[in-house]
Structure 1
């Protein structure tokens, strides 16, 4: 399997996952009682980490390797977007999820998850589309 094909598969997996989170999972949190959300959230975060971490780590490795091999516009943009997505995940979303786990959340925290996640949904979608276009050699020459 080529690095480019692996990149497409990882990007596709993450874009599907982020849209499921955005449209189904995060909006559902508001419908749980506090007690039920805390219980469900422990299961959710543990199981989600088993899916998300290999995909995100794989994506980081692939974009890092691509950037190291060749510093063109696409590899640079892909690497930078991946770093932004990692920073957003760990500096914005992990604290929000920790607040839920510790029962230190309000309905506004849950709404903030959905609101902030639109940015990650957009960025992962852009990354996937650009990756697909690059793989199909359809990006303009400046990429």
Structure 2
């Protein structure tokens, strides 16, 4: 049960963070003056990495633990769906989001790239939200099973 609760807590925190990034932070990139954008982007990448790298790694490890854990009433399909969400998040992060951020460092302010960043980030926002909802569902079923 502890593994399940830890998964839910970390996922919920990262879900809240990604919604902030999606609705507030990334759209504000369009308001940064072009002359300051490269410095802003480098600082953004550095500080964001410091904030999210450890929680994302912890989330990945917890997700693997949950996938491999055995307990009565476990829905293997739902657990696989939770893990697929992590895979989607990591693939989008490292094969879409990070390359766009790297291009923004090289090119500076680029409205098209910023809009692409906002649009493609919906994939991560959806995956994290779905993961949190699925974990909440799993926890609810677990608690019902042990009534």
Q: Does 1:100 align with 2:104?
A: yes
Match of 1:77 among 59, 63, 81: 81
Q: Does 1:4 align with 2:4?
A: yes
TM-score between the two structures when normalised by the length of structure 1 = 0.89
Unaligned residue ranges in structure 1 (runs of 5+): none
Aligned to 2:53: 53
Shift of 1:105: 5.5
Deviates most, 66-75 or 24-33: 66-75
Q: How many residues align?
A: 140
Unaligned residue ranges in structure 2 (runs of 5+): none
Shift of 1:69: 2.3
Please report the RMSD computed on the Cα atoms of aligned residues, expressed in angstroms.
Answer: 2.1
CA separation in 1, counterparts of 2:139 and 2:36? 44
Contact 1:78 1:127 in 2 (8 A): yes
Shift of 1:35: 2.5
Deviates most, 83-92 or 95-104: 95-104
Aligned to 1:32: 32
TM-score between the two structures when normalised by the length of structure 2 = 0.87
Shift of 1:104: 5.4
CA separation in 1, counterparts of 2:64 and 2:123? 22
**Higher alpha-carbon Rg:** 2
